[in-house]
Structure 1
Amino acid sequence: MRENFYTRGDGRYFAFVEAIDPLSDEAMKHRERLPEHWPGILDRRHPDSRPPTHRVWLDCVRRDYFLDLDWVRAPYKRSMPEVDNQRRHLLLEMDVDQFATILLLLSDTDIHGGVEQIQEGSWQEIILSPSVGLPVVAAADFDLIDAQPCYITGQDAAKEHRDLLLNVFNLEFLPDADFGEYGGTPPWPGGGPPFENVGIYPDYQVL
């Protein structure tokens, strides 16, 4: 069996919580209407677990890769155009194979303290495993093309390395930056999360 691309090695990642959206209980009852990959995630959940209450998108970078970059500890503050351009170049030169986008369907009872323990915009430290934890799918971007099933554990706040992460992914220069094909958006290879099937999310239902 082919090794899962995202669980290879120790499977450790820093994960940025891109979005957390509440789910409609009624919509979740109709699996045939759910987006691709959702039924598979639900089938892999423990049979005694409660139905998911939230959809969570995680933008992830491999922990060891990130910490081995020789420039991550160099302080960055928006200053001169050449400094901003250098930072933009470093971000765009990062190896896209070291990133992952994760779709997690989460219940309030799946983690200690409930969903409130994972704040949108926070950094978490996670492990992707072939068989242990909560079921997810991982892919190169939010389109979930060639998504691979795996499991997530950890979800501890990345407190020890939070300052480094904020320093590297400091996007203060974005209003004046030209990211070319990225269109000036944050330099995550996956882009931004989709809002398909709006009836699944109560806050986005069309009346």
Structure 2
Amino acid sequence: MEGGGSSINLSNIGDYRNIDDVYTILNSSLFTLTLSLLATRIGNLGGFSLNTYFDIFGIEGVLSNTMLITLMFQITRYFYTVLYANFDKSWSPFVFICGLLGVQIVHDVVFYYGVINFLPSGKNDMIDVLKQYSKENSTGAIGGHSAVLILTALVAMITNDMDMVSKFVLLGLVLYSLPYIISIVHKKPAPPPPPPAKKEEIRDVRGFY
């Protein structure tokens, strides 16, 4: 991709058989989620419910989302290879990202109606928080997930040609900073106002109740 006097190489990460790319995708998803977490803690991205998610589940929540993103990438890589690259098509970051967003939207809809909306409240703490998140953000949740995936894809394409030492250093910096970012104290919403005080009962002046 060229613009002006500089160029950015968006490396091919579309072959599901290339296991080395999975390490890059893992790194990139963890990097992007860490940035998203920082925006959530400082800028309240995703609202109170997303902050609550990270308060309760912490690094476990980050790792769960990291693996989800990696799996969605691998599914996309499979379909990209079988339905596009195998027909002698050249590498297309645009086609790949469109396929990735398609996989994400299908996942989000199925997961919402098949799990979040189906499972009763009180059965799973993580699902309960995700119910809150869905109500608070509505369709904006899908847009937020799409933005995270697009950024992850671009980071993976840009960093894929880096040497392993550089990738390891990047991973180390992200893992080092992650606990500190999770521990940022975010601004919590004001508590609801107390119920109005009951009017004092009028006693009979003769001493009877």
TM-score by structure 1 length? 0.24
Highest Rg: 1 or 2? 2
Q: Which has the higher strand share?
A: 1
Answer 1 or 2: higher relative contact order, Cα 8 Å, separation at least 6: 2
